[in-house]
Chain A
Amino acid sequence: MQKFERLDGLVAPLDRANVDTDLIIPKQFLKSIQRTGFGVNLFDELRYLDEGQPGQDVSNRPLNPDFVLNQPRYQGASVLLARQNFGCGSSREHAPWALADFGFRVVIAPSFADIFYNNAFKNGILLITLPESVVDRLFAEVEATEGYRLDVDLEQQRVITPSGEILGFSVDEFRKHCLLEGLDDIGITLQNEDAIRDFEKKHREARPWLFRDGAQA
């Protein structure tokens, strides 16, 4: 996983509550068996005026000029400012893959859906939850100021606005650690191999029926 320590990034505002994973990456793109290449189809239905197909060359597709990511001032954004319940809906990890592939490393919102929250951190995306009133204010500032950037410091758990205001945020220690170090979860878990084997043995003794495979029946 890509490390995340500190990022000074251009902010793009997506002013819409309950952005679901179908909106982040529509299902036709889920047919890929790769982890990469989803960036061009991020927010496909909002971004283009036609219906996208997997594998299609997007350079000829009509762009929706009203969509925020198509506006020149937000080109190169790496911080997404969003509304409540961002990432609700399905468990598709294609959603964070698409965000990361597009270039987003940070999403700031008043709240996130649970599964999306997990998936994003596993892909090196830092999700920052800030109070609704603060997010409101950030929306106003981003819209008012072209080239609005935020300095996001994970180690210190703070976001610094262009005016120098410091917004602290919380993140659980384990996720922070993994992100700072770029650690692979599986490797960490396998350090506990003995504990897992011990548990499994006791579990099997206590509840052998949980270990029946279909072939025994």
Chain B
Amino acid sequence: MAGQTLYDKLWSQHLVKERDDGTALIYIDRQLLHEVTSPQAFEGLRLAGRKPWRIDANLATPDHNVPTTLKERAEGNAGIEDPVSLIQVQTLDDNCNEFGIEEYRINDPRQGIVHVVGPEQGATLPGMTVVCGDSHTATHGAFAALAHGIGTSEVEHVLATQCLLAQKMKNMQVRVEGKLGAGVTAKDIVLAIIGRIGTAGGTGYAIEFAGSAIRELSMEGRMTVCNMAIEAGARVGLIAVDDTTIDYLRGRHYAPAGEQWEAAVADWRELVSDADAAFDKVVTLEASEIEPQVSWGTSPEMVTGIGGEVPDPAEAADETARTGISRALEYMGLAPRQKITDIRLDKVFIGSCTNSRIEDLREAARVARGKKVADSIKLAMVVPGSGLVKRQAEEEGLDKIFLEAGFEWREPGCSMCLAMNADKLGAGEHCASTSNRNFEGRQGYGGRTHLVSPAMAAAAAIAGHFVDVRDFGDAANDATQQQEA
């Protein structure tokens, strides 16, 4: 018998029951909740007179539309100026209260973006099934957890039954082999993957990221990669357990301790694909060929290297691609063959569940240190992923570096990743953003998003347009030194 993939193992460890038609009942170990996709689920429970199946499997925090200015945050919920946002955040508090669910409220230092908070607290563990009413739940797969986004009906279903009705996905392996160049990061890896396989490339698959370049990444880098599996069309992104995974988890709040820790670690070590496991599809990338990436269009697959240019629709492969490119260029206000380095920016956003962890902020700060945000930039903001990330960054003095350079230093939340709060782009504004989606209107009506890594975003803030972070001031120097060392 052929070996099992990591996904196969996680699936069979959680299989409660399988129907003849292929639909299966899967047990869910952890559900993360936030204010946007849960109110209708709680309401459904109440209407049906149902109780949550296992309260301690749930953890909640408001993130999507919490304000990020200190002024609004100082007063807790009462400070939320938008009355509709206030109701939503308040509703989460009320629901968690009523059902007894643990919640990190708006001004709790542990509050933050669900996908930053879960791993940070050790609430995401290897071998778990993790769900959340949010597509970027794929993030947690970096821990060899079977994690994916669900809709609100499914949130209610998990609350009521601790299970999910699911169909087994196919297995895809994306191997990234070799060494990344200096200044090239996890974000560039995943953007390059999406550029290669397209936004529907992973539809129907669970993607396992493997290869030496993935193994070299820290847990935070791995989360960045898995986070964007969904932009490649896959609900699930996975990375096998190794020492890096285990070291990260030791001592975290929800992680096991003592004897249980030893038993858990032994169990987790098995969470790798067997050497003879068969994948339905394998894609390989060479790490050394990946440049810092910049998206130019309105879909994450519309991406190229910093040395590249905007495509010419005239050269598109077919009619659908041609209209797609033309429409994107029109929306983005870009000309065919325009050089990426000639794209001028209005705003810069460093944050989101893709890139708002401490290493992301360090990377951006290293570029920004001692420099000034260009005068032409109307707003450059840094939004830490959680209160604990913010505290850590302040202990390291990163906030000062950003503030001195002219960035705003904000309170944790999703912020301008989807612009549900006051942080948004104006029509026609170009933004270098470390988030994950460049859809039309995503960061504000008529706004134009370019997806990049934190270092590239910081460099763009200083230059006022995109620049290759590899030839950029201290970052380039540091990087060379690291390489030489």
Chain A interfacial positions (CB closer than 8 Å to B)? 16-18, 20, 22-23, 26-28, 30-35, 45, 51, 54-55, 83-85, 88-93, 96, 111, 113-115, 118-119, 122-123, 172-175, 185-186, 188-190, 192, 195-196, 199-200, 203, 207-215, 217
In the complex, what residue of chain A is closest to B253 when comparing beta carbons?
A: A217
**Which of B15-23, B239-247, B400-408 lies on the face that meets chain A?**
B15-23
* Given known contacts A192-B25, A208-B260, A174 and B441 CB-to-CB distance under 8 angstroms: no
Which of A23, A174, A199 contacts B27 (CB under 8 A)? A199
Q: Is there contact, CB below 8 Å, between B233 and A190? A: no
**Which of B85-93, B177-185, B354-362, B456-464 lies on the face that meets chain A?**
B85-93
CA distance A54 to B87 in the complex (A): 13
Looking at the assembled complex, report how far the CB atom of B18 sits from the nearest CB atom of chain A, in whole angstroms: 11
Q: Is there contact, CB below 8 Å, between B420 and A27? A: yes
For residue B260, which residues in chain A have a CB less than 8 angstroms away from its CB? 208-209
CA distance A110 to B163 in the complex (A): 30
Q: Is there contact, CB below 8 Å, between A90 and B134? A: yes
Q: Is there contact, CB below 8 Å, between B85 and A118? A: no
Q: Is there contact, CB below 8 Å, between B161 and A91? A: no
Q: Is B474 an interface residue (CB 8 A)?
A: no
Q: Is there contact, CB below 8 Å, between B134 and A210? A: no
Q: Is there contact, CB below 8 Å, between A172 and B204? A: no
CA distance A151 to B445 in the complex (A): 37
Q: Is there contact, CB below 8 Å, between A190 and B161? A: yes
Which of A85, A93, A200 contacts B152 (CB under 8 A)? A93
CA distance A41 to B170 in the complex (A): 35
Looking at the assembled complex, report how far the CB atom of A109 sits from the nearest CB atom of chain B, in whole angstroms: 11
Q: Is there contact, CB below 8 Å, between B157 and A30? A: no
Q: Is there contact, CB below 8 Å, between A85 and B23? A: no
For residue B48, which residues in chain A have a CB less than 8 angstroms away from its CB? 186
* Given known contacts A113-B200, A174-B23, A214-B123, A30 and B165 CB-to-CB distance under 8 angstroms: no
CA distance A185 to B23 in the complex (A): 12
Q: Is B267 an interface residue (CB 8 A)?
A: yes
For residue A45, which residues in chain B have a CB less than 8 angstroms away from its CB? 440-441, 445
Q: Is there contact, CB below 8 Å, between B84 and A54? A: yes
For residue B442, which residues in chain A have a CB less than 8 angstroms away from its CB? 22, 27
* Given known contacts A31-B420, A33-B87, A85-B233, A209 and B151 CB-to-CB distance under 8 angstroms: no
Looking at the assembled complex, report how far the CB atom of B239 sits from the nearest CB atom of chain A, in whole angstroms: 19
Q: Is B37 an interface residue (CB 8 A)?
A: yes
In the complex, what residue of chain B is closest to A45 when comparing beta carbons?
A: B441
Which of A22, A91, A174 contacts B437 (CB under 8 A)? A22
Q: Is there contact, CB below 8 Å, between B420 and A210? A: no
Looking at the assembled complex, report how far the CB atom of B94 sits from the nearest CB atom of chain A, in whole angstroms: 10
CA distance A33 to B39 in the complex (A): 6
In the complex, what residue of chain B is closest to A203 when comparing beta carbons?
A: B27
Looking at the assembled complex, report how far the CB atom of A191 sits from the nearest CB atom of chain B, in whole angstroms: 10
For residue A207, which residues in chain B have a CB less than 8 angstroms away from its CB? 127, 264, 267
CA distance A51 to B447 in the complex (A): 12
For residue B288, which residues in chain A have a CB less than 8 angstroms away from its CB? none
For residue A189, which residues in chain B have a CB less than 8 angstroms away from its CB? 25, 157, 160-161, 163, 165
CA distance A174 to B261 in the complex (A): 40
Digitize B34-50: 1 where CB-to-A-CB distance is under 8 Å, 0 elsewhere: 00110110010000101
Which of A26, A84, A115, A211 contacts B135 (CB under 8 A)? A115
Looking at the assembled complex, report how far the CB atom of A187 sits from the nearest CB atom of chain B, in whole angstroms: 9
Q: Is there contact, CB below 8 Å, between B84 and A31? A: yes
Looking at the assembled complex, report how far the CB atom of B246 sits from the nearest CB atom of chain A, in whole angstroms: 13
